[in-house]
Structure 1
Amino acid sequence: MKTVGIVGAGVIGACLAFSLAQRGMRVHCVERAEPGGLTTDASFARLSAVQQPTYARFELSHTGMIEHFRFAEQFYSTPWWHPTGSLAWADDEDGAGPSFADVVRRLDSWGYRTSWSDAARVNRDREPGIAFEDPRTPVVLFPDEAWVDGPRLVSEMLGAAGATGRLKLWNGTVDGIEVHGGEVRALRLEDGERIEVDAVVNAAGPGMPAVAAMLGTAPVGGVATRSSLVIDLITDGDPVRHVLRGAQAHARSAGPGRVRVRSDQIDARLPAGIGSDPDDGIVKDLLERAYRTLPVLESATVDRVRIGTAVFPADGFPSLGPLSAVSGYYEAFANSGITLAPFIGRTLTTHIATGEVHPMWAHCSPDRLRTAR
C-alpha cells in the first residue's frame, strides 16, 4: 500500500485525498490553516469555461465541469454542489478584443451549451430582481454552469477520506521534503515531526513555489498572480437563482439568505499580492455596482469582505503530474482550482497508482515551469 503526502488541504488537496483513500492508499495531508479556509474560501467558485481563450484550455475547463457532474453522482448527498446555470450580459462594446456575442458564438462552436434571450424575458421568467438598463438587452444562459461551496466540498471530501481509515490530517507547516537517491522519502514539519511517504503531492496553492524550492531543483518560473475582492451579504430571502455575470458585477447565492458578489472591473484595480484588508473606496465601489445590478441588495447586511489571491501557471494550464528530476514528487497547481479539483483528484490518483498519463495532461507538465523563468 502506497503512502502519499499531500501539502495543502484546499479544494484540490481535499479531492485528491478522497480519491487516493478510495483507491486504497494511505494519505497524510498537511495544512497550516483551516482546511479550505484560505484561497478556496475566498473564491467566487463558479464552474465555467467561458473565459478560456484557446480550445485546449477551454476543453480542459469544460472537462472539469463535466467531471463535477460525474463526481456528484458518487454521493447520496451533495451539499456543496449547486448546478444553477449562469446568466450573462455585457455593456455596449468598447472595441477592445472580441465582442461578447463573438465570445458566445465561439463557445457555441466548441460545443458549450448556450441560449439567448432578452432582459425583459429574463426578468419575467428567471431573475425578476435584475435591473437591466434596457429590456432589449441580450442575455445568454449557460445552462451547464454552476457554483460550488468550496469549504463545504473540502469538509465533505476530508470526512469521506477519513471514514476509510486511510487519511491522517496534520495541522502544521511543511519545513522540508527529504529526497535520497533522487527519490522522495519523507515530509518534515516545522514542529519536528517526520512523515515517511512514498510520494508527495504539492497542492499548496499560493505556497506551491516555496514548497517546490525545498527540493533544491531548478526554481519555479512562469507563475502569475491574481487577486479578487469578494463580499458576502446577508439578505432577506434568496434573491438570486442563477450565477449572474453582469456587466458591472457578478453575483450568486452563497447559501440560504446569503449572496456573494465580485466584479471584473474592481479586480483589475487590485494590485498583485494585496493583503487581506481592502481599501474602503474599492469596497464601496463594488457594493454600488452590486446594488445597481440587483437593487434588492441595498437592504442587505455586509457580512464578510475578503481579498483572495490566487497563484497559478501564467500559461493558463495546470502544473499537474510528476517532476522528472525527482521520483515520487508531483504537483497539482492550477488556476480555476474549484473547476478542476475532482478531475485532478481522479487523474492524478490514477497516475500515482498505475503510471497512466491522462491525454489532457499534454500541456501540464511541471517541467515546463522550470524552463519558464
Structure 2
Amino acid sequence: MKTVGIVGAGVIGACVAFSLAQRGMRVHCVERAQPGGLTTDVSFARLSAFQQPTYARFELSHTGMIEHLRFAQQFDSAPWWHPTGSLAWGDDEDDGLPFADVVHRLSSWGYRTVWRDASRGTHAWEPAIAFPHERTPAVLFPDEGWVDGPELVSEILAAADDTGRLTLWNGTVDGIEVHAGEVRALRLEAGDRIEVDAVVNAAGPQAPTVAAMLGTAPIEGVATRSSLVIDLLTGDDPVRHVLRGAQVHARSAGPGRVRVRSDQIDARLPAGIRSEPGDELVKDLLERVYRTIPTLESATVDQVRIGTAVFPGDGFPSVGALSAVSGYYEAFANSGITLAPFIGRTLTTHIATGEIHPLWARCSPDRLRTAS
C-alpha cells in the first residue's frame, strides 16, 4: 500500500486525501490550522467559468463545475453543494470586452445562458436587486452555484477517515526528506517524522514555501490575489442566486447569511495584504452592497476578512509531478474550489498509475522552475 503525505487540508488537499483513501492508499494529511479554515473559508467559492479569458482555461473551469455534480452524487447528501445558478449584469467591461461580448463568447463555447433585462422578468428571479436601469442587460447562468468550502472539507475528510486509511496531523511541515532524488519523509516542527512514498504540496498560499524545502529550483512566476469578503447576518434569505453585478458580488452563505465582495474594492487592496482592511474600504464595499441590494442595509455585519490566494501567473494550476524529484506532486491553483474535486480524482489516478489527464498537459509544475 502506497503511503502519501499531503501538505494542507484546504479544499484541494481534502479532495486529494479523500480520493487517495478511496483508492486504497495510506494518507497522512498535515494542516497547521483547522482543516478548511484558512483560504478555503474566506473564498467567495463561486462555481463558475465566467471569468476565463481563453477557451483552454474555460474548458478547465467548466470541467471542474461538471465534476462537482459527479462528486456530490457519491454521497447520500452533499450539504456543501448549492447549484443555485448565477445572475450577472454589467455596465462595465470584463477583460477589455463589453459585458454582452463576454457572455456571447461563453455561449459560443457551449456555456448555458438565459438573457433578460431588468424590465422583463429579472425581478422575478431576484426581486431584491436595484438594477442600474430598467434596460440593464442581465443573464442567468443556470449551471453555476456556490460551495460551502469548510462544510465540504469537513464532510469528505470524515468520509476518508471512515476508510481507516487517513491520519490528520495538526502541525507545520518544516522539511521534506529527499534521498537519491526520491521523497522519503515529511518532518514536522514538533519533531515528528512521517515516512511516505510521495508528497502532495496542496499548501495554497504556502505552496512556494513548501516547494523550497526540496532544495531544487524555486517556484517562479506566481501571482497573488487578495479579496475583501464581508459576511452579513440578514435574518432571512434575500439572495436566491449567486449575483455578479457591475459593482458587487453576493451570494447566500447559509440560512440568514449573505457573503459579499467587489472587484473594484479588491483592486484597491495593497499587494499581498493579509491583515484587516481599512475602514474606508469596508465602508465603500458596504455602500456598493446597499445600492445594489437595498434590503441588506438592515443586515448586521458579522465578519470582515481578507483572503489571499497564490497561484501560477499564467492562470493555469500547478498539478502533477515534478520531474526533478520522484514522488513529489503539486496541487495549487486559482479557482481552487471549482477545481478541487477534479484535481483530487485525476491527481490520484496520476499517483496510482502515472496517467496524466489531457487537461493537465500544460499544468506541469516543471514550467514554474526556470532551471528545470
State the Cα deviation string for residues 12-54 of structure 1 (Å, max 9, x = none): 0001100000000000000001111110001000011111111
Structure 1 segments (4+ residues) deviating >3 Å? 93-96, 121-124
**Structure 1 residues 372 and 333: CA distance shift in structure 2, 3 A:** farther
Instruction: Tell me the equivalent position of 2:360.
Output: 361
Unmatched segments (≥5 aa) in structure 2: none
Partner of 2:200, secondary structure, is: strand
Instruction: Tell me the equivalent position of 2:66.
Output: 66
State the Cα deviation string for residues 205-238 of structure 1 (Å, max 9, x = none): 0000010000000011010000000000000210
Partner of 2:119, secondary structure, is: helix
Give the alignment of 1:253-268 within 5 angstroms.
253-268=252-267
TM-score by length of 1: 0.98
Partner of 1:75, secondary structure, is: coil
Q: Would you say the 8 A contact 1:8–1:29 is kept in 2?
A: yes
Once the two structures are TM-superposed, the CA of residue 121 in structure 1 deviates from its matched residue by 3.2
* Partner Cα separation in structure 2 for residue 362 and residue 75 of structure 1: 30
* Partner Cα separation in structure 1 for residue 19 and residue 65 of structure 2: 17
Once the two structures are TM-superposed, the CA of residue 133 in structure 1 deviates from its matched residue by 2.4
Q: 2:250 matched to 1:251?
A: yes
* Partner Cα separation in structure 2 for residue 286 and residue 6 of structure 1: 37
Q: Which amino acid aligns with 2:24?
A: G
Q: Would you say the 8 A contact 1:30–1:173 is kept in 2?
A: yes
Give the alignment of 1:104-119 within 5 angstroms.
104-119=103-118
Q: Would you say the 8 A contact 1:222–1:372 is kept in 2?
A: no
Partner of 2:169, secondary structure, is: strand
Give the alignment of 1:182-261 within 5 angstroms.
182-261=181-260
* Partner Cα separation in structure 1 for residue 181 and residue 227 of structure 2: 39
* Partner Cα separation in structure 1 for residue 94 and residue 166 of structure 2: 53
Q: Would you say the 8 A contact 1:226–1:311 is kept in 2?
A: yes
Q: 2:32 matched to 1:18?
A: no
* Partner Cα separation in structure 1 for residue 120 and residue 7 of structure 2: 48
Give the alignment of 1:251-290 within 5 angstroms.
251-290=250-289
* Partner Cα separation in structure 1 for residue 70 and residue 315 of structure 2: 24
Partner of 1:66, secondary structure, is: helix
Q: Which amino acid aligns with 1:78?
A: A
Once the two structures are TM-superposed, the CA of residue 135 in structure 1 deviates from its matched residue by 1.6
Q: Which amino acid aligns with 1:273?
A: G
* Partner Cα separation in structure 2 for residue 294 and residue 236 of structure 1: 15
Query: How many residue pairs get matched?
Result: 372
* Partner Cα separation in structure 2 for residue 139 and residue 316 of structure 1: 27
Once the two structures are TM-superposed, the CA of residue 104 in structure 1 deviates from its matched residue by 0.6
* Partner Cα separation in structure 2 for residue 141 and residue 310 of structure 1: 27
Unmatched segments (≥5 aa) in structure 1: none
Q: Would you say the 8 A contact 2:217–2:371 is kept in 1?
A: no
Q: Would you say the 8 A contact 2:94–2:102 is kept in 1?
A: no
* Partner Cα separation in structure 1 for residue 132 and residue 49 of structure 2: 27
Q: Which amino acid aligns with 2:57?
A: R
Q: Would you say the 8 A contact 1:50–1:107 is kept in 2?
A: yes
Q: Would you say the 8 A contact 2:93–2:99 is kept in 1?
A: no
Matched-pair identity in %: 83
Instruction: Tell me the equivalent position of 1:171.
Output: 170
* Partner Cα separation in structure 2 for residue 153 and residue 235 of structure 1: 23
**Structure 1 residues 95 and 34: CA distance shift in structure 2, 3 A:** closer
Once the two structures are TM-superposed, the CA of residue 94 in structure 1 deviates from its matched residue by 6.5
* Partner Cα separation in structure 2 for residue 111 and residue 123 of structure 1: 23
Once the two structures are TM-superposed, the CA of residue 125 in structure 1 deviates from its matched residue by 1.8
Once the two structures are TM-superposed, the CA of residue 96 in structure 1 deviates from its matched residue by 7.8
Q: Would you say the 8 A contact 1:115–1:141 is kept in 2?
A: yes
* Partner Cα separation in structure 2 for residue 203 and residue 121 of structure 1: 46
* Partner Cα separation in structure 2 for residue 305 and residue 372 of structure 1: 41
Instruction: Tell me the equivalent position of 2:46.
Output: 46
**Structure 1 residues 285 and 65: CA distance shift in structure 2, 3 A:** same
Q: Would you say the 8 A contact 2:123–2:129 is kept in 1?
A: no
State the Cα deviation string for residues 111-150 of structure 1 (Å, max 9, x = none): 0111100112344421110001222211001110010000
Instruction: Tell me the equivalent position of 2:370.
Output: 371
